[in-house]
Structure 1
Amino acid sequence: MQHAAARPPLACALSAALALTAAGCAGGERHGDRPTGTAPASTRSPAALPSPAVPPVLTRGQARAALITEADLGETWEPTRGFATWRDGVLKATAERADCRRLLDVLYTEELFGSATAPRATVALDDTAGGAQLHYRVTSHRAADIDRTLAWLGTLPDTCGHFTARSARGAVRDVRVTAVPLPEPGDARQGLRVTVSGPADAGGADTADAVLTVDLAAVRVGDDAISLTHGTLGEPVDDATRTAAEVGAGRLAEVRRQGRAQV
């Protein structure tokens, strides 16, 4: 009985203490008081603020609407009939320098922004006149991640301007990398031309020397990216790479203006 009777005073004391604390906080807010040494919220370092949320991504329908078509490139272009044989025959090689090895891997896999993010939409087109093939992707990423990859591409004419690659059979291939200017549409962009010269691997045997030219280009539009490869064993047509980048960036910008999906 004595213990039961002691509980109400203790509960009252706790309630009173909580009430005084709440009143003190409320009073501090009314008079603009704050603990000594604490800066106003408006002057806090941006690093202390919450990081922005992951940007929403395009729906698959929006990404498909942003793709280019064969009609954008000219009458000699059509939907692809299959992967070009030079992909395995020439590009399947490695190099000693890490950046150059990564470049060859990107050209072969076409995963410029990494394999963690699957492509939202892709299209592959063939040039029936010149034998070229163009692969085009629209994907969504953080703008900072896209720009980091574009910056890396921009270093390659210096770090991998001329290097040697080797096939699995040991065949030596001469590789040269130069910058390719792209049209202005989009928020950021980078283009490369990679020329690979040497014997091609055909069914496990090295054949006569081949010269493969591949353009690798990427354009950022907000938090979305266009990436493309345009390769040929013949004479490359500059207009196809530039047209794909320019038309594609404009189309993607228009799709973004029409509204993004909240996911």
Structure 2
Amino acid sequence: MTAVLAAGTLLVTTAGCGGGEDGASSAGSASSVAASPVAERTTTASPGKDTLTPAGARTALITEGDLEDDWTQVSAKDAASWEDELVVGTVDTQQFLTGKTQAADCQRLLDGLYGDDLLGRPSGASALTGFTEGVSRLLYQVGAYDRDDLDESLDWLGSLTTECDQFTAKGPGGTLTVQVVEISSLPKVGDAREGVTVTVKGTSGGEPVTLTLDVAAVRVGDDAITVTNGGYDGVDHDSTKAAMSHGTTRLKDVREGRTPAPEPSEFD
């Protein structure tokens, strides 16, 4: 599942849980999203032992009430079709001191941004939803993973601000310049978390464009949520943090057999 960018319209993807339980596609849209990596990690114990079911994954998805501002929820079918061709590119290996290893990490970032599977494919149930606000898009995914694979993916995500802090790639429209920085002050939720802001500068329709995306992931036991949020007009970090915070609460409720509240009692 991916997010699509068409002339003048942005579709953002929430990276990480591609192949969600619900699908989606956005009508004739245009740009999308990509971003990922670094923030904080914790090592607390898993909160639950229940296996995430397809119904549970759908119930754990956030709603408009979990986000600040004027986000509008779209169908899962629309959200699943979001793609952004701006992030399609082949990394220039010559720019890295350690060569193949760093280049592979950065290529994995670009590929994951386009395919919305930065954490890899879920091993169990998964679901997704999407939201729009102006030309910005927020993709939210929930999925069950193999724990070892999930921890490896989070470690990789957390390394990107060092391994791929700035690099170039060759895209269909010319050279892409990519910068990855840490998202500061992520909410201390879940058992582990990572978050980065990715900025991609390139050309779309013959015009220079800049795509800015937050990509954040939170582990809760063997399950995880992934948020991809942003667009060509920048990114609202507060919406990313709200999705992480309230989404983690919903996922914990589902894992523990409770029904999540319709809306959070208060925003962070």
Give the conservation status (yes or no) of the 8 Å contact 1:71–1:77: no
Shift of the alpha carbon at 1:150? 0.7
Shift of the alpha carbon at 1:119? 5.7
Q: Runs of 4+ in structure 1 displaced over 4 angstroms?
A: 81-86
CA–CA separation in structure 1 for the residues paired with 2:157 and 2:226? 12
Task: Identify the residue that residue 138 of structure 1 maps to in structure 2.
Answer: 142
CA–CA separation in structure 2 for the residues paired with 1:113 and 1:196? 20
Shift of the alpha carbon at 1:117? 3.5
Shift of the alpha carbon at 1:88? 3.1
Q: Return 156-165 or 114-123, whichever deviates more.
A: 114-123
CA–CA separation in structure 1 for the residues paired with 2:201 and 2:52? 39
CA–CA separation in structure 2 for the residues paired with 1:249 and 1:137? 11
Residue 253 to residue 159, structure 1, CA distance change in 2 (3 Å): same
Secondary structure of 1:197's partner?
strand
Secondary structure of 2:84's partner?
helix
Task: Identify the residue that residue 231 of structure 2 maps to in structure 1.
Answer: 232
- Structure-2-length-normalised TM-score: 0.68
The reply on whether 1:159 has 2:163 as its aligned counterpart is yes
Task: Identify the residue that residue 91 of structure 1 maps to in structure 2.
Answer: 87
Give the conservation status (yes or no) of the 8 Å contact 2:120–2:153: no
AA aligned opposite 1:150: L
Q: Which has the higher contact order (CA 8 A, sep 6+)?
A: 2
Shift of the alpha carbon at 1:211? 0.5
Secondary structure of 1:196's partner?
strand
Decide which of 50, 69, 72 is 2:63's aligned counterpart. Answer: 69
Secondary structure of 2:197's partner?
strand
AA aligned opposite 1:71: G
Shift of the alpha carbon at 1:118? 6.6
Residue 258 to residue 85, structure 1, CA distance change in 2 (3 Å): closer
Give the conservation status (yes or no) of the 8 Å contact 2:85–2:114: no
5+ unaligned residues in a row in structure 2: which ranges?
1-48, 93-102, 259-268
Give the conservation status (yes or no) of the 8 Å contact 2:211–2:231: yes
AA aligned opposite 1:230: N
Task: Identify the residue that residue 58 of structure 1 maps to in structure 2.
Answer: 52
Identity of aligned residues (%): 40
Count residues in correspondence. Answer: 197
Deviations, residues 172-211 of structure 1 (Å, cap 9, x unaligned): 01100011132111000000110001212x4xxxx21000
Give the conservation status (yes or no) of the 8 Å contact 2:57–2:125: no
- Structure-1-length-normalised TM-score: 0.69
Shift of the alpha carbon at 1:75? 4.6
5+ unaligned residues in a row in structure 1: which ranges?
1-54
Give the conservation status (yes or no) of the 8 Å contact 2:190–2:248: yes
CA RMSD of aligned residues (A): 2.3
- Larger Rg belongs to: 1
Secondary structure of 1:90's partner?
helix
Shift of the alpha carbon at 1:239? 0.5
